[in-house]
Amino acid sequence: MTDTLHIVLDDTAMTAAGQGNVLASRLIHRAHAEPGWFLYAPACALVEADRARPGTAEHLASLPGVTVLDLDLAAALAIAQQETWATAHSQYAAQPTADRPDGAVIATTAPRRWAGQPVRILDLTP
């Protein structure tokens, strides 16, 4: 393990950030201000968050500490068989990669959604 922290926002965390969730706001601030903190917004989850709360996608995409993860071919093939693309893209984004050998933690306000899934979560429920 390293001191680097990679966090994937799921659609519920993105919506919560737009509604003033203090924990989500702190994550966004740290990703912008502290070295070694990385925050990711999977495109499919970003779309779902914007459907729930219009304006969320544009706002999050404009923040300097948030990296929007595109839906590339590998991601599309991995999530195409899942029921919801937002959850599937978040889970895919949290898997280990060359840039994130330990994977990433999924920040969420719906921790039960992730029960039984092979991911680590960060509960942002106040």
pLDDT in tens, 70-112: 999 988 888 887 778 999 999 999 999 998 999 999 999 999 9
Token pair of 13 as six digits: 């965390």
Q: Is 80 exceeded by the pLDDT of residue 24?
A: yes
18 with 24: CB under 8 angstroms? Answer: no
Prediction pTM value = 0.93
Strand partners, 121: 106
pLDDT band at 2 (very low <50, low <70, confident <90, very high): low
> What is the rounded distance in angstroms from the CA atom of residue 122 to the CA atom of residue 125?
9
